[in-house]
Chain A
Amino acid sequence: MSRTRSQEDRRQALAGWLFVSPALLGLIVFLVVPIVLALYVSFTNWDGLSNPLGGDVKWVGLHNYQQLLTHDGLTRTTFAGALRNNFWFVLFVVPTQTALALWLAVLVNNKYLRGRGFFRTAFYFPSITSSIAITLVFLFLFQGGGAVNGILNWFGVKGPNWLADPRGVVHVWLSGIGVSKPPGWTRHSVMGQSVWDWFSGPSIAMMVIIILVIWTTAGTFMLMFLAALQNVNEDLYEAGELDGAGGWQRFRYITLPSLRPTLLLVLTLGLIGTWQVFDQIYLTGNNPATRTPAFMSFDQSFQNNHFGIGSAIAFLLFALIMGLTLLQRRLIPEEID
């Protein structure tokens, strides 16, 4: 018995390794090795043409990272601008898409709602389309004389020339209340950008991408909230009802706490996704008003042959995403309690 047992163990061990090795090999060759290679490239001046491991590639140490973070110059100014654009993008998209997805989920979770299936499908449908196809539609809708401005016209609002407008919305709003020149203290420069510029808000061009991304991701997150809502114990609502809790109170003290794990997941996925925004940015062209670090990494590498700088941006972005995700995991649970 013990012999057949160990024989069976050996057979299982062999089969186990045989089964996982194709996938494992793929992940190692196309994921683990490449990342190590790219990390190496981020310390070199590789131009994308020669062999990156060959002799004519120069090791430059931290030079690329310094160009991006500490040295005065065009690279740092461009990188700071991209960081600023992406920061405002995340700040506008993540809370809005989360709130909208949650609100839609609560609405379509109503058992007595007619046409629930239709509404769920309608809200989810944009999520299945390719980012390229749908961005092209939005570029059409948001042209200067496009459909969106046409609708704004009905309400007597003259819409901006969306994609061509580099003004930040905070600056626009400030000039609306009479602050059109930067106050003296905001001229102080951080990473080659003035404080005034850092606080510009997303550009009007970026607002198009913000609206687009909220519109395409709200449906996916709505489904995740919907799944969680269906697991909320209904007895709790009845108990809350008996205690005289109103609609908002029931949402605040029963629904929201039960949704905490999903909320955390949606916020984390949102954060990871928004810091990587690329496809939509690519289609708006190499525009300083919408440029993000992910696009700059691509642009530096594949258009300018500065693979060292491009890789360094990718790893800084990696570090940023990891850092923020960990930070969020620490902060969120307390906040909701």
Chain B
Amino acid sequence: MAAVRERRSPSRRVLMYVALALFALLFLGPFVIQIATSFKTDPDATNHPLNIVPHPATLESWKRIFGYSTDQPVPFGTWLRNSIIVATSITLLRVFLDSLAGYALARLRFPGRRAVFMLILGTLAVPNVVLLIPRFLVLKELSLYNSYAGMILPIAMDAAGIFLMRGFFMQVPQSIEEAARIDGAGAFRTYWDIALPLVKPGLITLTILSFQGSWNEFSFFLVATSDPKYDTLTTGLAKFSGGSLGSGNQFPVTLGAALLSTIPVAILFFIFQRQIVRSQMSSGVKG
């Protein structure tokens, strides 16, 4: 293998690095422009979109985002609070319910297990877009439309997460649990005290994927609510850019708020980078 690489001509290696650098620029460049634009004035952003250095540099859009400006404040605080409430609740519920169900499917023998397994497998095949109207219908019927419960409960469990956890539990040696069971531990104690700590990598993976997914969720929240009180960062930003607040493009404010909404998942990404990369490499959860 080494011999193969060494025979590569230096010019080809240079070419490879040039290609990689060019692509890195293509993949990161838009974020650099986004950061720069958030410190620009509206006219500067419009007239010199490519300039990396704002001229003049201004904190005006950041003041508006954080509510320190009397000039058309952006309800960023409300969006942020809602995103935190909803994404955290969905993540906690998903990790608990998915791991509970995943454990049962991996470890407990019960009549109908195969049928339950097939049903969950079947729900994976339903495209998300098809669910927009159905979920709206049920939220209306259950009087959950325009409520936190209505935003959280319908996506508080997911088939992909159940499968992920089932896979992790199946890798745990059965003998460890049997010892606990002989000592008289019930099924829940065995799951909670013995099995759960052994699948920590799985729990972290599911936590990150769930948080990222629900933090970035848009279409479901769009149909589950109409009251601006329940706007999250995604629905709030989308309505804002649609011109519901103030006039003009207001790109510095929009891009600044979009940047802020990206930061939490970016931080999570950089802390758990290895875990995320490994989980994404083995699953296909985000199409």
Contact = CB atoms under 8 A, between A and B. Distances in A.
Interface of A: 9, 11-17, 19-20, 22-24, 26-27, 29-35, 37-38, 41, 52, 104, 107-108, 110-113, 118-134, 136-141, 143, 145-147, 150-151, 215, 217, 219-220, 223-224, 226-227, 234, 237-238, 241, 265-266, 269-270, 272-273, 275-276, 278-279, 282-283, 285, 294, 297-298, 301-302, 307, 310-311, 314-315, 317-318, 321-322
By secondary structure, the A interface counts as helix
Given A35-B126, A38-B137, A130-B216, A104 B23 contact: yes
Interface stretch (B66-74, B197-205, B259-267): B259-267
A131 B123 contact: no
Contacts, number: 287
B132 interface: yes
B210 to A, nearest CB: 13
A119 B16 CA distance: 12
A211 B110 CA distance: 49
Report, as a range, how many residues of chain B touch the other chain: 35 or more
Contact of A128 (B24, B49, B162, B269): B269
A224 B223 contact: no
Given A224-B280, A269-B284, A136 B255 contact: yes
A301 B249 CA distance: 28
A133 B261 contact: yes
Contacts of B127: 272, 275-276, 317-318, 321
B234 A130 contact: yes
Contacts of A297: 129, 132-133
B107 to A, nearest CB: 9
B123 to A, nearest CB: 5
26 contacts: A15-B187, A19-B101, A24-B116, A24-B119, A34-B134, A34-B138, A37-B137, A37-B141, A38-B133, A111-B5, A126-B27, A129-B216, A132-B216, A132-B218, A136-B241, A137-B255, A143-B249, A215-B26, A220-B287, A272-B127, A273-B287, A297-B133, A298-B222, A302-B136, A314-B132, A314-B133
B111 interface: yes
Contacts of A19: 100-101, 103-104, 108, 187, 191
A279 B218 contact: yes
Interface in B150-177: 153-157, 159, 162
B287 A269 contact: yes
B287 A15 contact: no
B223 A122 contact: no
Interface in B66-110: 97-98, 100-101, 103-105, 108-110
B281 A123 contact: no
B186 interface: yes
A108 B34 CA distance: 26
B59 interface: no
Nearest to A21: B101
